[in-house]
Amino acid sequence: MTDVPFGVLLSGGLDSSLVAAVTVRHLAGTKAAKRWGTKLHSFCVGLEGSPDLKAAKEVANYLGTMHHEFTFTVQDGIDAIEDVIYHTETYDVTTIRASTPMFLMSRKIKSLGVKMVISGEGSDEIFGGYLYFHKAPNKEELHRETCQKIKALHQYDCLRANKATSAWGLEARVPFLDKEFINEAMSIDPEWKMIRPDLGRIEKWMLRKAFDDEEQPFLPKHILYRQKEQFSDGVGYSWIDGLKAHAESNVTDKMMSNAKFIYPHNTPTTKEAYCYRMIFERFFPQNSAILTVPGGPSVACSTAKAVEWDAQWSGNLDPSGRAALGVHLSAYEQEHLPATIMAGTSKKPRMIEVAAPGVAIES
């Protein structure tokens, strides 16, 4: 339902690719198609040579969309961070990491005359798609965690999708968060959402299987079974590395040692978090504003409760998906890990083998 030019955000991951595939199938014959044309516009952002750009281009070619690829540099992102924090009104590390590329992309999308985009947010929360769900001890814990993630969406992914786009007058719509769809998906036995390598089930296996149509494929197999890649990682691994390096040069060890006195609430534990907090409090010094932002430890976007699922991960508190040691195909190397986690890595990490072909995009 739209009377304005629209498109889809396409990262080449499972969720955005499925949204694009379904939109392409239903676009023909609609009033929107008659007014704006039957060719769907798709948009992707990333650093030069990033995983998302490559995967998104492949999906766009497969679906036949009019694809628009936007690249940015680490410096472009760093220059935009103050604006991003002002518009998103948060100092949450993973939200800022992911909002920055989306903010830069939204500006370019709006300049093309597009006013509404369809996006894939919500699927990971509903189906337990984040890589830390590999460690869910049982279906009850998994279900509780997905419920918590859905209830907190307005503070994380939906906050990003809404505010990073609306900063430029662009509207984002999220079909996975349709209320009927949520009720349907959350009423399914959570056992089907459990990640079971012994049965060849990876994250979001149930959703992947639902769209695994042999006669009329929605997507190429290796895209349908691509490993979960968080948006802030998928735009290019050097993005997060660049942010950490920038924070390292701007925040001293002495500043970090005094962090608990300067910021007693949600005390920043990394130089990157300290950097964002300084900018946030410059824009929003009121205590009421500081209290609106959630805190607590996180691994690969987990809640604080889920950090307890694995002792090894709990020493590597970084919201990046690459902190999912032994699960992410490009997990952080051991020499880059903090000493707290190095002590617990004597055991061989559990690797996940998947029956489906070509889960990772080959570089």
- Averaged over successive runs of 10 residues, the pLDDT of the chain (363 residues) comes to 92 95 93 90 94 94 97 97 98 96 98 97 96 92 96 96 98 98 97 94 96 96 85 79 96 97 96 98 97 85 79 65 55 48 38 39 38
CATH number at residue 156: 3.40.50.620
Cβ neighbour number for residue 85 with a 10 Å cutoff: 25
Give CA–CA dist 141/155, Å, rounded: 22
Contact of 313 with 131, CB cutoff 8 Å: no
Tell me, yes or no, whether 326 lies in a domain.
no
Neighbours of 363 (CB within 10 A): 7
Domain membership flag for residue 353: no
**Residue 243: which residues within 8 A CB-CB, separation 6 or more?**
74, 77, 78, 97, 272
Residue 280 within any structural domain of the chain: no
Query: Is 286 inside a domain boundary?
Result: no
For the chain, first and last CA: distance in Å? 38
Cα 273 to Cα 303: distance, rounded to the nearest angstrom: 17
According to the model, what pLDDT value does residue 102 have? 97
What pLDDT shows up at residue 341? 36
Bridge partners of 66, per DSSP, are 41
Cα(143)–Cα(306) distance, rounded to whole angstroms? 12
- Whether 316 is covered by a domain: the verdict is no
Q: Is residue 266 part of a domain?
A: no
Across the beta sheet with 171-173, the strand order is 66-71, 41-46, 6-9, 116-118, 171-173
What's residue 327's pLDDT?
A: 62
Q: Which residues contact residue 299 at a Cβ distance below 8 angstroms, ignoring those fewer than 6 apart? A: 132, 306, 307, 310, 313, 314, 316, 317, 318, 319, 323, 324
Q: What is the pLDDT of residue 76?
A: 97
Question: What total of structural domains would you count in the chain?
Answer: 1
Is 337 inside a domain boundary? no
Q: How far apart are CA 5 and CA 72, in angstroms?
A: 24
Tell me which residue range forms the domain holding 232. 6-73+93-244
Is 221 inside any structural domain? yes
The model carries a pTM of 0.86
